[in-house]
Amino acid sequence: MNTSFSVPEPLPQLMKVAEEVKKASISLGQATNEERCNALINMAKALSDKSSEILEANLIDLERSSDEGLGKSLISRLQLNEAKLQGCIDGVLKVSELSDPVGKRQLHRELDERLILERVTVPLGVLGVIFESRPDALIQIASLAIRSGNGALLKGGSEARETNQAIMQAFVGGLSNSSIGAGALSLLTTRQESLGLLRLDGLVDLIIPRGSNELVRFIQDNTRIPVLGHADGICHLYVDSSVDIDQAINLALDSKIQYPAACNAIETLLIHEDIADLFLQKSLPMFSNAGVILRGDKKSQSLGVENPATDSDWATEYLDLILSIKIVSNFDEAMEHIRKYSSRHTEAIATTDKAVAEKFLSSVDSAGVYHNCSTRFADGFRYGFGAEVGISTQTLPPRGPVGLEGLVTYRYFIRGEGDLSKDFVSGSRTFSHKDLPL
């Protein structure tokens, strides 16, 4: 654990930009649902109108990055083409169709006659977004911010700087044609600014990182602003002794290979010793066929797993077709292992014993805990949220896949007629605390 923040104080120039976005966010926070939706439609239209400029800028970024030797997978994330850009534009329009997260009344209570308490959702204020490579992240997050009534300071990777600037220019044009001004969004361009962003407590309400585990961990370790995201996703599947072996193997395969680079893919398979021999006999050739490299503890090696797992394997998110395997002598040993190594993202159990399944669900403190279901379902779209702002592995809400509701908070409003607390203290008035319709 770091004991000091290694980021510098924000420069006056950044403070000024942040204060302007903060100010604009206050007006934006009062915009109606219709105004915010119209702004998104204008943003989408502007992206269409400026698509050739955006794609040209992207070519410049690609050429420079390729000259600078940027890796193949980063190049592919950086690259836009007409189809991909159209997908992004459709995405902006889809965000405009999501149900409004702002202005939802969560509590409506009469404290006494004509003294009414409400709790209503409101935008957070200003989001700080730091993303790597992918210019589509800029488009997505900017539209989620406007949809939820939040301003945003957006810092993209320098490899995408021309693309990001072209996109932001389109947004500024689009927003200027709407009742919402363009001041609520600002693109940061230097590394100095991205570090300073982490120190903007009081001006920035939430940091959303989109990038590597290292980036997320650095941000979490170097800011006091809440961070919506997760570094590692070390997910487990526990195969109980009472189990439908074929089903369990399919769950293990799907959880590992369907998209191994995803945070909700499993990294470790825990197998009850009573079933381990049978399970491995049947599954080893299937893992092998799927190209999965297995690393096992001593027991599983004695049952045919080829490579040894060291202690560091249990703490590693491979993001690849590698799976560590441990044989446990009972349920409690599986729980112990999960408690020690899980990143509290998503864990699953494969069992036909309902009692064991329910014990697993109530014992494992991860954001998602599943019974006979692939861990790959841990996703905002699959949960039906319509959008995913991020997946949080912290304990406090919001945790797990977070939709638009993660970009709002609430305020308590009281409307009275000159009501004084002393009257309730003296007993001349008493609280009715009567809930009213929401």
- Restricted to residues 262-291, the positions that interact with its own copies (CB under 8 A) are none
- Closer of 51 and 255 to its own copies (Cβ): 255
Number of residues that bind its own copies (CB under 8 A): 71
Q: How far apart are CA 415 and CA 435, in angstroms?
A: 15
DSSP 273-316: HHHHHHHHHHHHHHHHHTTPEEEE-HHHHHTT--EEPPHHHHT-
* Shortest distance in whole angstroms from residue 65 CB to its own copies: 30
Burial of 99 (0-12, 13-18, 19+ CB in 10 A): exposed
Nearest Cα to 396, choosing from 136, 117, 206, 149?
A: 206
Tell whether residue 414 is a contact of its own copies (CB under 8 A).
yes
Choice from 165, 353, 383, 429 touching its own copies (CB under 8 A): 383
Residue recorded with tokens 């064991």: 356
Taking CB under 8 A as the criterion, which residues in 125-184 touch its own copies?
A: 125
Choice from 416, 430, 436, 438 touching its own copies (CB under 8 A): 416
* Shortest distance in whole angstroms from residue 74 CB to its own copies: 24
Taking CB under 8 A as the criterion, which residues in 30-49 touch its own copies?
A: 30
* Shortest distance in whole angstroms from residue 52 CB to its own copies: 33
H-helix or E-strand containing 196? helix 191-197
* Shortest distance in whole angstroms from residue 41 CB to its own copies: 24
Q: Is the dihedral of CA 33, 35, 38, 44 positive or negative?
A: negative
Nearest Cα to 45, choosing from 106, 104, 86?
A: 86
Tell whether residue 424 is a contact of its own copies (CB under 8 A).
yes
Taking CB under 8 A as the criterion, which residues in 186-215 touch its own copies?
A: 199, 201, 205-206
Q: How far apart are CA 47 and CA 43, in angstroms?
A: 6
Tell whether residue 245 is a contact of its own copies (CB under 8 A).
no
Q: How far apart are CA 87 and CA 5, in angstroms?
A: 39
Choice from 53, 192, 321, 377 touching its own copies (CB under 8 A): 377
* Shortest distance in whole angstroms from residue 176 CB to its own copies: 23
Identify which range of 51-59, 64-72, 121-129, 135-143 contacts its own copies by CB under 8 A: 121-129
Q: Is 78 helix (H, G, I), strand (E, B) or coil?
A: helix
Choice from 63, 281, 302, 412 touching its own copies (CB under 8 A): 412
Taking CB under 8 A as the criterion, which residues in 343-372 touch its own copies?
A: 357, 361-363, 365-372
Tell whether residue 242 is a contact of its own copies (CB under 8 A).
no
Tell whether residue 413 is a contact of its own copies (CB under 8 A).
yes
Identify which range of 39-47, 87-95, 108-116, 158-166 contacts its own copies by CB under 8 A: 108-116
- Closer of 229 and 400 to its own copies (Cβ): 400
Choice from 378, 387, 389, 402 touching its own copies (CB under 8 A): 378
Nearest Cα to 25, choosing from 134, 145, 107, 105?
A: 145
* Shortest distance in whole angstroms from residue 401 CB to its own copies: 8
CB hemisphere CA count around 230 (13 angstroms): 27
Tell whether residue 399 is a contact of its own copies (CB under 8 A).
yes
Nearest Cα to 227, choosing from 387, 394, 378?
A: 394
Choice from 213, 242, 250, 301 touching its own copies (CB under 8 A): 250
**What are the structure tokens assigned to 120, written together?**
């209503």
DSSP 7-57: -PPPPHHHHHHHHHHHHHHHHHTT--HHHHHHHHHHHHHHHHHTHHHHHHH
Tell whether residue 4 is a contact of its own copies (CB under 8 A).
yes
In this structure, the number of other CB atoms found within 10 A of the CB of residue 45 comes to 17
- Closer of 58 and 223 to its own copies (Cβ): 223
